[in-house]
Structures are given as structure tokens and as C-alpha cells.
Structure 1
């Protein structure tokens, strides 16, 4: 198998030798690249995680510093003697400037402060603001009072993200109406009323927090933001607005549910596969979250993967090109050695097969003259597993439609197809029967089966199914059908010749049973029916008369009645019947040629040879029916030709005697020597118009021509056209042309 594959072309030589190596190398490269990609991906994730944890820890430290600074500032201010006056005493308007400058100095020292409020229970002092002192009703930042009145949820030293009115709105162009600030609350924790009476509020700018947590690079798509323990967004985010409730997000739930202060995960965030890092702050119980799209993390890894795949593809292409080069160099010397070996092996195998076939044919035709010892030696020599002393059965496979088979295939192809048929038989019968196949003729293969016991083959259901399967597989794979003939079971191989000849005779009954038939000797009952097939003599007469009369359907019916029941006769009797019928057909053809002066293309000897090659009664009848139809058509054509000549003569008479008023069907019939009735019927059948109407139409056509082309009077034209009555002429002319002859002439002159 390997040698045959190599010899197909020079390229397959190299592929056969180095293909496993090439495939394994490519697989190894792909496996190695996959492992490296996974390791590089893990490395990239670790790098990103550590970088993001560092950034988040730095941000957490900034938040802690902010908290400590705000605590320090608020505590310092609370105990400042000047600011104490604002908390515990009433300050007059004259002293506002001093206290306002004091608060402004705090704001100037700490740039993260957007504004400072001092609240004493009744009034609130705010810097910067248009006014320094406001009561609860006049102060525009109403939200601060809601917070101060709810100390249960807003403890001292806590921070609250909220929106406050922007003091620059209306003053600075483009300034928003409100801004976000983080309000740091400081008040005396010893509050019994539930409301705060003295408090310092430091409003920290949201922009300062934003700058402290902004990612280092915006190209990576990284987002860093702050959330509260309740999942509320406390810093700017490119996707969600401030104060958005994110507690329903899966990754927020996982972060808040985590018991570790820092960690990472890979999840889908807002429809994007992302890598998430989080860390807790020491102040305010905040969580810092960093989200980076996963594709940015593995971007360099993907580029490396593409380069790796490109290298593998180039490696494959280069390997194939090298394989083609070396294949050309190595093919000739190797293929010559293998070809010579194969040639010797093929010749040896073909010679062995031919010798075995020749021996089997010798056994068939030996008529039992070969000794048992000789047969056993030869059986052993050719690896024949049959036992010469056992019981045998002959199965004869006959190729159907052999003439078409020969026309379709060359002699070599036919031998190859028969060899294929032998292989199909061997494959299907080998598991059940010891057997041998022999090509005993151009259209047949004989199978010699070793069978257990002297049983009728027609009763062997298993064998019948196998033979049907052989027929089906032969048709499916070889495109040809076969008929099967089974012999009787016989006791010794010495009887092979007798039963082979008997089986060949049985196979001729395919003529009756048709193609793809399965014939057993029990089906053929020839006892007492070897005589000639008899049927009434009038059937011969009916067939002959029908053929001579051109009645093909009657002839077919007569032939069917003659052949009916012929299947109960022997093949020889049936063959004699068809020869007799062919002689009868020749007699009918000779009668046709004599009676109608015609020549039929029919050769008795050639048709007889053709008939003997036909394989079934159905084919013979079909061919006879075709011959009958051909004879009927030739006869009809002969009759039609005769009629056309007669009608041509009638037309000439009409044109010649057109001006004669006495011209009629009777006068014409007398001239052609036919009865008026027969001539009128024949004329109307072929011309689709009666003789009288044809004469009348010819006269009117001639008259219209004279009206236009001559200067004769209408009366003269009437007489020249054969009309004897002026009124009849005018009536007929107007009926055909719609106007009188005079008007017809006038119109023709106007048009001309």
C-alpha cells in the first residue's frame, strides 16, 4: 500500500516520509506557543494587579492624609478663640470682617477646601459667600441643615458627598449652578437633643479627590473610582454619574462581600470583559475600585501570539517548499526501484490468477476425467478450499443487456468490471460458503459453491438473500445488472461439466423471466411441452392482414394473443415461434411492396441475428411493435403521396376550367375517374374545404384581380370568372370583400 502511494507523484514521496515529522513539529509549536501565551497572560495580569494595588494604596494614603488634615483643621478651628466667638456668642456686624478674614485664612492655607461653614444653632457663617452671616431660612445650601439635624446617620468626623450651590454661578462665565463637594463634619459629640447646635463644616473640593485618584494613563481604558460601603459612587466615573447606586452590580456585591481589604477578579462590567482590582481605605470606610478592559492587558500578548502564528505559517510554507524540492531529487531513484518491484509483483500475481482461472475452466470441461489426487494437489497449489468429495452447487451470473454493456465499455474495462463482480461475490459469500469464481464466458461468471447436503437451492432462504444482495451490490457499484441461475445440488465434482451445461441451458430462460431474474431448475417445467407452440390459424391471418392494411395496433394485439401463454413452453419452442413470426412478417412486407410499389428497408437475416441477441420476450415484443409502427408509417406516407398527386391534378383542372360555368365536382370526378362522393370526401379531408367552395373562392380571387388590373366591364369580368348570374356574382363578391366590384375598383384607383 505504501509503495503504491509513493508512486503516484514525486511530492507524495516526501510527504509520506516526513509528513509525521512535519505535523508533530507544527503541533509542538502550537502547543508551546499556547503554553507561553497563557504564562505571559498570567504574568501580565500579575503586573497589572500589582501596579493597580500600588496605585490604589497610594490613593488610599492620600485619602487618609486628607482625613487627618481635615480632622486637624476642624479641631484647630473649633478651639480657635476667634472662631469660638462665632460658635458661642453673638457677633456684631462691625466685627464680621475680622471673623471672615480668619475663616478665609484657613481656606487659603488648605487649597483642597472649597468653603468653610461655622454653625451656632441659629446662624451659619460661610466663606466664601456674598454675605458672611445667614439664618436657616436665608442660606441657599439647605442640604447642610438636613445633615446637621440627623446626627444618628451623620457622626462627627464623618464625610458626606453632596451638591451645593456654586457661588460663582452668574459671576463667572460658564460656571455651573451647583458643584459637588465632600462635606467634613465636626461637632461636639456630646449632643443630647439629637440636633447639632455648634459645628464646623469643611467642604472639600470634589476636583481635588478626582485628581488624586485619576489613572496614570487614559489610553488603557482604566477607570478608578470610590464607592461607599453601601455601593454608592463617591467619585467621578466615565460611565456612571456621581452618587449612582451601584450596589446591584455583581462585581460591587462581590467586592463588598469580600473579607479581604484588597483583591482582584475578572468579570463582565457594563458588557466589557474586565480585570477589577479593589482596596479598602483606612478612612471613611471607602472602597477604591480600578477597572481595566481585559483586552488592553493582553494586547501585547495578542500581538506576540499573532507573530507566533505567522512564524508557524511561514515554517509550514517553507517546509512544504523544501519538501517539493527534495521530492524531485529523491523521487526518480526510489520510484524506479519500487516500480520494478511492483511490476514483478503484478506480473507474478496476474500470472497466478490466470493459471488458477485456467485450471478451474479445465475442471469444468474435464467431464470427470481428473483424478481425486490431482484435484487435491491442484486445490492445495492454488489455495482452493473446496473439498472434491463434498456436495456442490453451481450459480451462474449473467450480465444483462450485454450488447449495451459491450458498446459502453472497452474489452479491458469489461474484464475489470467482471473482476469487480468476482470481488463482490467473494466478499459476500466468503463468510457463509467455501466457493470459487470462474469467468466462463464474456457475459457470465460461474460460482462453484460447497454446500452441506443435497438440498434444493430454491428452499435455501439464506442463499437466496445472499444472491439478491450480490445483484444489488453489482448494480450499485458497477452500474450493471445480472441474472442468476442456480443448478441442482450434485454429489461430486466429477459431475461438474454435466451440471454446468445444464445450468447454461437454464440461463436461457431469462428470455421468459426477464432481467435481474433468479432462475431455479424447479421453475422450468418442460415435460410434454417441447412440441411446437400451437394457436388458431386465424391469428396468423389477422396479423398479416393488419400489417398489409397498415393497422399497427391490430397487429400488436394479434401478436400479443399469439405469444400469450408461451412461457409454459421450452426455450427452444419459444425460439421457433419467434422465427415463425418473423417469416410471417417478411411475407406481409413482401405483399406491401407488391401492392403499393414501395420498398421497405427490411433484411430477414440481419433481423434474425438481431432477434437472437435479444435477452427477454419483452424486448422482442417491443422491437416487433416498433417494426409494425414503422411499416404503418411508411404505408401512410405512400398513401398520402398518392393523394397529393391526385389533389394536384384536381387543382390544375379547376384553374384550367375556371371560366367554364359548368365546372363542378361531377365534371372533375369524371375527368379523374373517381366517384363524386369519394373525391369530395378525399378533397375536404386534405384541403379542409369542399370542392364547390374551393371553385367559388378561386373565381372570386380571379375576379378581384381583373377588377383592379383590367379595364373590362364588370359584366365581362363576371363571365371570364365563370359566374353565369350577375346577382349571384355581386352577392358572393360583397360577402367576401364587403363592397361591390365597382366600389372595389374605385378604392383601388384611389389607393394606387
Structure 2
């Protein structure tokens, strides 16, 4: 009863449940019906194809058999032993015997012949090969004669298979084939030979082929042009057959089209039973029919339909269970919401007989929304006046401010005392970059509500968000309660809650207690300045005036000049230990400065390090890996003195390590520089060891000794070698005079040039050019 009551009381839940349940049931039922329909169509097409293949094979057999019978009948009609039987008025006994003997031979040689008969038109006598002619008292003979002479059509087609029944029933005993000497239909005035063909090769082979192909039982019939049906007589079937209905079924597909199909496949009723009829036009004017009970053919489909619907029913039951479970899961959040607002819904008293729970919740939402708008408007006004108290109270007198507190029911004591606290985000620039605007709004709401709830336990409290990076708390109460020592524990609890649940870090500045409302603006500015001293006190600090009194009383505006100078010299010389000592001394002095002076001194220190690095780079061939232009921006990336100290120390370490390369690396760079200068300026007459040493800013003796020790020759020798090799190249490539070439490579004295060239290559420049031109 409890479950039933729970179900009936929740109209929206019922709607969800019934929607899901009905959808699943319709899908499953539709799928089952579609599968059954497709299966039935597939079985019909398969059965039709199988039946037509069998009947097509039978048609081929009939055509082939007809050709054989035509040849046999022609042979029989011209047989000398049978001619006397057809045309003699007085038949001699020997001719009679020879005729019977020939008919017997033909029957023995042809397995498909049932019997033969010879009709003599002159005597109207019939001679038959069957034993029935002799022993049944003339019954067979009279039956055949009656058929020949008294046909319903007045004539019988010649040279064509005709279904024939000895008992004049619908059972086919044989196919008659009449042969005459004329091309037209048979008449009693014409003598003829009648061949009776066994029907088994048609019906039995058709049944066997059909059994192999489809496995379905049926009945083989032959339908004449007059609509008469014949069967084999031993099919074992008891199908209720109606000739008129069968004829309509066969003719229906062609009505209105004017076409006549050789084969077809129809489904209809015959004798009160649904049947499947496959038909194929055979030889002449008769049609082969294969009739099957539709129920037998579709037995597998019916069984499948039964199983399918049973399975569908089971799945529908399962879907009902899943629907209930799924509906309950979908309804879960709504139910949880209902439990929370149920008392309000009762007060709203919705019409449960006509409306569901969501409609009632909508009505309640509209009521609460209106109330919330009223509250929101009032909150905006209250925040406006609180901000005005804190930032621009010169336009308001003490009396005006007290009246506003009473009018807008601000949680402040009109007579004081007051204390202003500022909660400021740590690392705000980083927080601003990684936090979306929606999340910022959520955090702002959380900070204000949590802080107000915690502080309101002990103080009268108002709170407002000022700029983006901080919030201001305005406390009032008895003077002994507004001691910073009493406020700090509550502020600490707020900081811990915000960090635990929102991962927010805030520093708090606590201004001094004031007694007048007009002093709130100064107290706010003081608390905000104190909150910025997190650069000194660290993150999540709670700072009051006495914590930074030393800084506030310090009159020094910057770092001593010797600190900056020693730091710069230590960096230039690559002395990391000295640089680290000077940094430590500098940050110890920074910690005692006032906030603005501290920030200015940090910026100056960054520029000192930047200039030292730039000077090192200007004296080096390779650049420092440190981004020099980024150094002045370093203070913007760190928010406390400890972080800045580590950052500057890491920077100085990187610069000092690169400022003192190994002696081997330094010597190699000097030598490579000397060689590069020689190759660039070898054509200069004034190029010498002294000028090269002056260019690299080293002494001539030091450069000469370094080059000699490294390359095994003096700078002058290397210079002459470069000049002479270049002269040798020009002598081969250019047609200028030797004097012109000498001047191009930096020689002004011809005899000196000739002497050096011959000493180097063993020949004079002129001889060298002649020898090379000859060769």
C-alpha cells in the first residue's frame, strides 16, 4: 500500500514511467511484427522460386517427351503391320495378329507408354493393346470409343497430349496422343492411332523434385482449357478444390493487363481453405498446377511468430521493470528537490488533483523569484551605501550615516565602535587567468556568505565586494570585542574553510578600531594597505598594524648603493658566492622598507641584474641563454619576498655560470676570432698582430703566445700564408698584372712579396704563372 501510495501521488513520475514503458512496448511489438512480416515475405519468395523451378523443369520434360511421342506416333502411323488395322474393311486374321504383335512390341520398347489403340474409321472398330480390351467385357473399349466419337467439343486435337480418364472422372489415367493423316482435329471419319502415355513421369517426378526443393506437401493438377481439373489419383492429398475459384486465381494476375504469363504464383481461397497456387502452361491448351496449403507452407513462419511474440512478451515484461528502474533514476533529482522544498509546497497548497508536482514547484518558484527580486534590490541598495561609507563618506555626515543604517537595517551599531577588515586574493593575477567568469561569481558568493556567517556569530557584520581582488568586512560591537586578538580566530576559520572547499588563498588586513562612522574610509584604506603586506608576511597572513610597525617607521627609501654595486660586480665576474651573499643582504634590507619603497627597490634590483647581464653579453661572442629583456618583468611573476629571493638567486646562478667559460673554450674562441679577422682583412696593408690584438681587446704578446701555442706558427706567419695562397689563386684565375695582384692581397713592397712567394712555392710569381699557362 505504501508503494502504491508513493506511485499514485507523483503524477510527473507516472508520466515519465508510462512514456518510457509505452515507447519500449511499441518498439518491441513493432519490431516483432516487422520481423514476422519480412520472414513471411521471404518464405513466399523462396517457395515461389522453388515451385517455378520445378514446373519449368517439368515443362521441359513435357516438351522433350512430346517430341519423342511425335516421332513414335509418326513411325507407328506408317508401320505396315498397323496400316491394315486402320484401313481394312475385312481384316484378315494374320494381319490382326501381326498388328497386335507390333503394338505389343512398341509397348515393350517404350517405358512411358501405357497402351495403344488403333481406330478404323471404315468399320468404326477399335483395336487395343491393353489386356483390358480382352478381359473386361469391352468396357475399356467402349469408354475409349465413346470418348473418340462423342467428344464434348465435337472434335479432338491431333498430335497433342490430352488428359484422359478411362472412368470419365477427374483422375488422369493417361495422356492420349491421337495421330491421323490430316493436320486438323480428329473426327470420327478419320482413322487414327491413339497412344496412351503414363502420367507417372509427370506427376511423380514433379512431386519428387518439389519434395527435394521445398519439403512442403502439395498436389499436382492439370487444368484443361475448359477449366476441368485432373490429378494423378495417388497423390494422397485431400485439398478442397473448387474449379471456379482455381480458375479465378489463375486469371486474376492477368486481368486488365491484356498479357498472358506462361507461369505465375498466386495466393487465395479454394474450397474454404487458403492455398498457394503455382501454375505453368504446358503442352497445348492445358496448364500444370501445383497447389499447396498455405498453412503448411507457413507452418515454420507461424511457429516463429508464436515464439517471437512470446519472446516479445517476455522482453516487454523486462522493459516494464527497466522502465520502473529508469524512471525512478530520472525522477531521483526531482524527488530530492521535492524533499527540500516540501514545506514550502504545502504552504503553497497546489491543486494536487489537477496539477503535478513540477507545476507546483513552478508556482513556488514564481513566488520565491518575486521575493528574491525584492531582496536583491534591497541588497543592492545596502551594498551601495556600505561602499559609500568606506570610500566616499565626505558627502555624508555622521547623522546621515546613522539614519541610513537604521533605514536599511544594516547589521551595524549606529554608535560604534567599528573595525574594517580586507580579505584579498593571493596571487590574484594567476587566479584571474585560470578562472572563468562564472567560477569567479561562485567564489565571490562563497567568500561573502562564509565570511559573514562565521563572523556574525560574534559580531554585527556587513560585507561587500569592492574591487575584483578583495572583499571588505565591516564589523561593529562592543569595544572589548573588537580587539584584533578576538577577530583573528574567526578570520582564520574563514581562510581554512575557503581553502578546504574552494582551494582559495586570501590574506587579511585588519584596520585599527574607530569610533565614528566618518572614520571608516581611512580605516578601509589602512586595512587594504595592510593586506598588501602579504609580500612580506606570506600567503594567508592575518596582518595588523603592529606586525609591520617597523616597516611603517622606517624612513629609508631604497637599498644602499654599495649593495647594488657589489651585486653587479659579482655577477659580471661570475662570482656566484659573492652574488648570493649580496642578494641575501639586499632582501634582509628590503624586508624593513615600506611597501611602495620595497616594490621600487625590487624593480631597481631587477634592472641592476639586467644591466650586468647585458654588459656580459656585449663582451662575449655568444649570447647568454637568459632572456635579458624579461628580467625587469620578473617581480610581476612572484608575490612574496621569499619567492623573489629564490627567483633572483636562480637568475644570478644562471648568469654567473655562463659568465665564466672554461679556459679552453675561451682560448678557442680567441684563436677562431683571430683567424676570422685575418681572412676578412688580409688585403689591408696595416693588418698586423698589434692591430688584431687591439681588436679583440687583449695584449699583443698574450694573443701572439696563445696563437703560437695553439697553431704552431705566429700570427704574422699565418697572415703571410693566407695572403700568398690567395695570391696563388688570383695568378691562375685573373689576367691582372703581378703588381695588381700583390696589392689585392695586402703587400705594398714588390721585392718583399717576390721573396716570400719564392720561399713559399720555390718560384717567382711570374714563373709560376708561365708554368701553369704552359701546362
Per the normalisation by structure 2, the TM-score is 0.41
Per the normalisation by structure 1, the TM-score is 0.42
